[in-house]
Amino acid sequence: MAMTTNVPNTTATTTAPSGNYKSALVVVTTLFFMWGFLTCLNDILVPHLKPIFDLSYAKIMFIQFAFFSAYFLFSVPMGKIVEWIGYKWTMVAGLFTMGAGAILFIPAAAVPSYPLFLIALMVLAGGITALQVAANPYVAVLGPAKTASSRLNLAQAFNSLGTTIAPYIGGLFILSAAPKSMDEIRQMSSDVLQAYRLQQASSIKGPYLALGLIAIALGIAIAAFKLPPVPEAERHTGDQSSHTSLWNYRNLVLGAVGIFVYVGAEVSIGSFMVNYLSQPNIGHLAEKVAAGYLSFYWGGAMVGRFIGSAILQKVQTGIVLGTAAIVACLLVVVSMLSVGPLAMWSILLVGFFNSIMFPSIFTLGIAKLGPLTGEGSGIMIMAIVGGAVVPVLVGVLADRIGIHHSFILPAICYLYIVYYGFRGSAPLRTA
């Protein structure tokens, strides 16, 4: 029979590594900004590619499925790579892969081909997966354990800065051309339709080429920078913990579920936001205008993370997490049961309370893992596949009952996070 025991405190985050790591944190924080920017551009691709390829809500959500399924496929291997080559070189490899994925958008737009866009997204997300697996635990263990959530929330705030800016930039360059209605598109001849698709898809080339080159340049810069090692979080030959199964850590397993439902809820709401605010009974906004409002959703997360970083210096992470999830759930329900400005602003406000969830769940999940931190991070990042699964399910609901009420699924996701924050995050190990 399995028995539950408290995990000893001799772990990666119980003793602060020596030295001054401020410069290292500054450098790694640029990665958080970069992958936040690229991830949020998916929310612009959804409304842009939907009419071009005449896709249903369920089918257009394969953008998120392709992107976030990469986390499921590559996270555990990336956790092993962290063990082999270290945190720094895993970040460098991730940036080069991101650059390659972004550049692949150019041939995808030149055809244009929806499957090629999905392949490019998977390559891009594979690089981001490497960054997530390496950078999140690196920031978490680069200092005292009691401030790990605060430190990661601060780094994630710059991730949210990227997601806040991305809708404006994406709306400006990608949604710049006035879209045609679906009736107009369906009445086009095959030659005219192909020309229209080429014209619309061409707006994607420039932004992604620039981002690809920036990612490669940043990879070169990280390679040249001397990031300090964190030996307390690295496995060494003869470690007794190497014989311990990660699945015995209750906080890790339940935390992975928490990451799954959180990312699923956040991505679902963000992905449908432009279409949601365009609804006549919600905001009745043009797509380009709605894309600007999307920045309020992601900007709220940025502001919340800066505030949360300060709060988490004094309040237990689980309490802050559970409270934020309660409010997020209530806001989603209010939006579902209302129309007009109330429905619009209540769903936008969810972003503020999303803010501390990912870094808080992540640090609670990898707490007390010691040399298993790299592999544990891989499992936590693998759970980001929730961003692939949940939006597709919400898309299926939206096709059947409408976008307005399809948000019932994200609301349920937040209820689980309430449980994890208050009860499921205790750092216990089963033996």
Least confident of 133-137, 187-191, 295-299, 399-403: 187-191
Residue 10 confidence (pLDDT): 33
| pLDDT cut 70: percent of the chain above it | 89
Tell me the average pLDDT of the chain: 84
Using CA atoms, how far residue 352 sits from 35, 302, 325, 327, in Å, is: 19, 7, 11, 10
| pLDDT (0 to 100) of residue 212 | 94
Statement: residue 12 has pLDDT above 70: no
Full-model pTM: 0.74
Residue 231: the pLDDT is 58
**pLDDT tens digits, residue range 387-418?**
889 999 999 999 999 889 999 999 999 999 99
**Whole-number pLDDT of residue 335:** 96
pLDDT at residue 150, as a whole number: 81
User: Does residue 239 carry a pLDDT above 70?
Assistant: no
**pLDDT of 57-115, one tens digit each?**
888 888 988 888 888 898 888 888 888 888 889 999 999 999 999 999 999 998 888 99
pLDDT of residue 381: 84
Structural domains in the chain, CATH included, are 20-228+245-430 (1.20.1250.20)
At a CB cut-off of 8 Å and minimum separation 6, what does 150 contact?
A: 308, 309, 310, 312, 313
Out of 161-170, 315-324, 347-356, least confident range:
161-170
54 C-beta neighbours (distance < 10 Å), count? 13
